[in-house]
């Protein structure tokens, strides 16, 4: 029994740091994450595809309330921006422009599209139910039941 005690490590040597796996390499993120500012939501917006400008997309997003983020607001992006960017003093990487909008606009937008989806779902259901005939129903309630036999 004394031999078992001598083979054991002391409690101080058994720490979690000695049992951790070594850190592994991971590929770099395609787009870095901006430092969040309270009350704002950030999004990368397409300005070009395959070096072809997409003015329709960027103008639609600007009309929705998205505004480009200045380099002075996110100084960690200073070295990452495209040198030939059309958006001077803003953060554009690989045809994507970093923009922000108040979080309440995003919540309002989500609610708007949720209402649109619900209205379309109700309309489709009503249209289908109008075509329904009790002699040949489109939808049937399918219920299964389990019954147990009597043991002898």
Predicted confidence (pLDDT) per residue in 34-66, tens digit: 888 889 999 999 988 888 888 899 999 999 899
Residue 123 has pLDDT above 80, yes or no: yes
pLDDT higher than threshold 70 for residue 103: yes
* CA angle, residues 63, 64, 70, in degrees to nearest 5: 80
Q: How far apart are CA 152 and CA 91, in angstroms?
A: 79
Would you say the C-alpha torsion 109, 115, 119, 124 has a positive or negative sign?
positive
| 76 DSSP assignment | G
CA distance 76 to 38: 18
pLDDT at position 100 over 90 = yes
Instruction: Find the range with the poorest average confidence among 6-10, 40-44, 98-102, 108-112.
Output: 6-10
The predicted model scores a pTM of 0.60
């Amino acid at each position: 029994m004394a031999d078992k005690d001598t083979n054991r490590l002391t409690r101080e040597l058994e720490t979690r740091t000695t049992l951790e796996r070594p850190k592994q390499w991971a590929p770099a993120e395609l787009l870095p994450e901006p430092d969040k500012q309270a009350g704002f939501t950030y999004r990368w917006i397409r300005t070009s595809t395959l070096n072809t400008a997409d003015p329709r997309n960027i103008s639609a997003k600007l009309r929705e309330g998205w505004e480009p983020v200045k380099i002075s607001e996110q100084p960690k992006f200073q070295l990452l921006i495209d040198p030939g960017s059309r958006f001077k003093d803003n953060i554009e990487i690989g045809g994507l422009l970093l923009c922000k909008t108040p979080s309440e606009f995003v919540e309002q937008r989500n609610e708007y599209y949720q209402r649109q989806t619900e209205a379309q779902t109700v309309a489709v259901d009503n249209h289908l139910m109008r075509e329904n005939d009790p002699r040949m129903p489109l939808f049937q309630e399918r219920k299964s039941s389990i019954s147990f036999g009597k043991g002898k």
